[in-house]
Amino acid sequence: MTFSVRQSCFLASLSFATADRWVSRWLSPVAGGIWKGNDRALSVGQCFALHVGSAYRREGADQDRVRGIVSFLGTVPVERLEAELEAGRSWPCPAGLIGAAPRPSAWLPGLFTAPPSTTGCRPGVALLVHRLDLGVLYREFRERIETMPVQRRRGRPRRREGASVVS
């Protein structure tokens, strides 16, 4: 399943200009996809990466953090993401935050960890951790896919049979 940039704008609650800029700079093309303007084909994982980047940006994360999250999640296949979420590792950790930690053999530009503990934290911090949890964001994303409006086709609509042509 692939999505256009316009559809990803709806899914991620981003403006077209922002989504287009993030896609062209931080994501790589889907195999066999066109990579220009609204004709770009984005995978489900790449659209989810934009959705998560939008949530981080909404919560006040800086541009480097958003770039790291979008770049990392844009390379993760949906199957692996779902497996990590089932295992309880729902917190993304981009490569820039890892430093010199040992890396697994199938290295991506980051890894998944368990969410940080919120015991003893202020209520605002616990709420922020909950809002940025990938499990919560993935459920929101799947709900948005279900409610996504059908995309209009380009060009003139076909004439209906029996419709008269005004000359």
pLDDT of residue 15: 92
Which two tokens mark 68? Answer: 């790291």
Q: Does 88 fall in a domain?
A: yes
Q: Which amino acid is at 111?
A: L
Q: Is the pLDDT of residue 82 over 70?
A: yes
pLDDT per residue over 95-115, tens digit each? 666 555 555 554 456 788 888
pLDDT of residue 166: 53
pLDDT of residue 122: 85
What are the backbone angles phi and psi of residue 21, rounded to the nearest 5°?
A: -65, -45
Q: Cα–Cα distance between 3 and 16 in angstroms, integer? A: 14
Q: Does 65 fall in a domain?
A: yes
Which of 106, 54, 60 lies closest to 83 in space, CA to CA? Answer: 106
Q: Does 165 fall in a domain?
A: no
Domain count, the chain: 1
Q: Does 139 fall in a domain?
A: yes
Q: Is the pLDDT of residue 36 over 70?
A: no
Which of 122, 117, 144 lies closest to 52 in space, CA to CA? Answer: 144
Cα torsion for 148, 40, 139, 127, to the nearest 10°? -110
Q: Does 117 fall in a domain?
A: yes
Average pLDDT over the chain, rounded to an integer: 80
pLDDT of residue 165: 52
Q: Does 9 fall in a domain?
A: yes
Range of the domain at 88: 2-98+106-146
In which band, very low, low, confident or very high, does the pLDDT at 87 lie, cut at 50, 70 and 90?
very high
Average pLDDT over residues 132-161: 79
In which band, very low, low, confident or very high, does the pLDDT at 65 lie, cut at 50, 70 and 90?
confident
> Measuring CA to CA, how many Å separate 64 from each of 40, 42, 56, 112?
24, 22, 11, 18
pLDDT of residue 81: 92
Q: Which residues contact 29 (CB under 8 A, 6 or more apart)?
A: 35, 40, 41
Q: Does 60 fall in a domain?
A: yes
> Measuring CA to CA, how many Å separate 100 from each of 113, 132, 166?
16, 25, 72
Q: Does 72 fall in a domain?
A: yes
pLDDT of residue 55: 94
pTM recorded for the entire structure: 0.79
